[in-house]
Amino acid sequence: MFTGIVEETGLIKSIRNAGDSSQWTVGAGKVLEGLNIGDSINTNGVCLTVTAFSADTFTADIMPETIRRSTFRDMRPGSGVNLERALRFSDRLGGHLLSGHIDGTGKIDKRWKEDNSIWFHISAGIPILHYIVEKGSVAIDGISLTVAAVDERSFRVSVIPHTAVMTTLSDKKPGDMVNIECDLFAKYIEKFVQNDHPGGGINRDYLEKFGF
C-alpha cells in the first residue's frame, strides 16, 4: 500500500525488452534507503517489486498486463518517474490509500495557471470516471490529488506549487497520458452492494437480518 505522497522523482536508466514484458533500471536516491530485494516501490502509480538494486538504482520486472494498462509503453530511458516506498502502518497517511494497481490511463487535455495553482483537465473513459467524484481522491501517476470537478467525459484537479515541483507534473503538457488509480474503497463498496456475487448484495433485508 502507498499514500500518494511522492518522495522523489527518478530517471529511467535502461529498459530491456523481452517479448511483451520488460525490465527497468531506475535511478533514485531517497527510496533506496533501507531497501531490500522484494520491496515495493510505487513508480508513476504502478507498484513494482525490486529484484535488484545498487547504490543509486533499482531494477524491476514489468509484466505485459502492466504495459497494456499503463503509460509504461510510452516510457523511454531518460523519462522521469514519481517514486514512493510502501507505506508503514506507523507512518502518517498524508494522502489516501493506494494499491499501486492502476485502473487505466487518461489524457491531459488542458493545463493552465490560476494564481499559485496549476489546473489539469484530464479526459478518461467511463469505467474510470464511474469511480471519480467531486472532492474525492484520485491518484495521477502515483500522486494523491483531490478532484475539483467531474463530468461525463473528464475531470479536473488543481495542484499546488510544491506538488508540481516535487513530481513529474511540472513537465506534463496537453496531449500527455497519465496513469490513473481510482479510490480503492469505492470499488469494494460497489462490489458489496451488488447482487452479482456469491451470497448476493447488501440490501434492506440483509441489514435487517443482522440488526441494522
Q: Which residues pair with 31 in a beta bridge?
A: none
Parallel, antiparallel or unpaired: strands 154-159 and 46-53: unpaired
Query: What pLDDT score was predicted for residue 35?
Result: 96
Q: C-alpha cell of 12?
A: 529511467
Separation between Cα atoms, residue 166 and residue 171, nearest integer Å: 11
- C-alpha torsion sign, points 110, 144, 113, 150: positive
Query: What pLDDT score was predicted for residue 187?
Result: 84
Query: What pLDDT score was predicted for residue 197?
Result: 56
Q: Which residues pair with 137 in a beta bridge?
A: 146
Matching CATH topology for 8-85 and 104-190? yes
Separation between Cα atoms, residue 60 and residue 23, nearest integer Å: 6
- C-alpha torsion sign, points 11, 86, 49, 107: negative
Domain ranges of the chain: 8-85, 104-190
Query: What pLDDT score was predicted for residue 200?
Result: 62
- Per residue in 86-97, pLDDT (tens digit) is 998 777 778 888
Separation between Cα atoms, residue 61 and residue 79, nearest integer Å: 17
- Per residue in 168-207, pLDDT (tens digit) is 999 999 999 999 999 888 888 887 777 655 666 666 776 7
CATH of segment(s) 104-190: 2.40.30.20
* Pair 165, 119: CB distance under 8 Å: no
- Its CATH architecture, for the domain 8-85, is Beta Barrel (2.40)
Query: What pLDDT score was predicted for residue 41?
Result: 98
- pLDDT, mean of each 10-residue run, the chain (212 residues): 95 94 97 97 98 98 95 96 91 85 96 96 96 95 97 96 93 97 86 66 71 76
Reference 3, options 67, 139, 97; nearest CA is: 97
Query: What pLDDT score was predicted for residue 198?
Result: 60
Query: What pLDDT score was predicted for residue 7?
Result: 96
Query: What pLDDT score was predicted for residue 61?
Result: 97
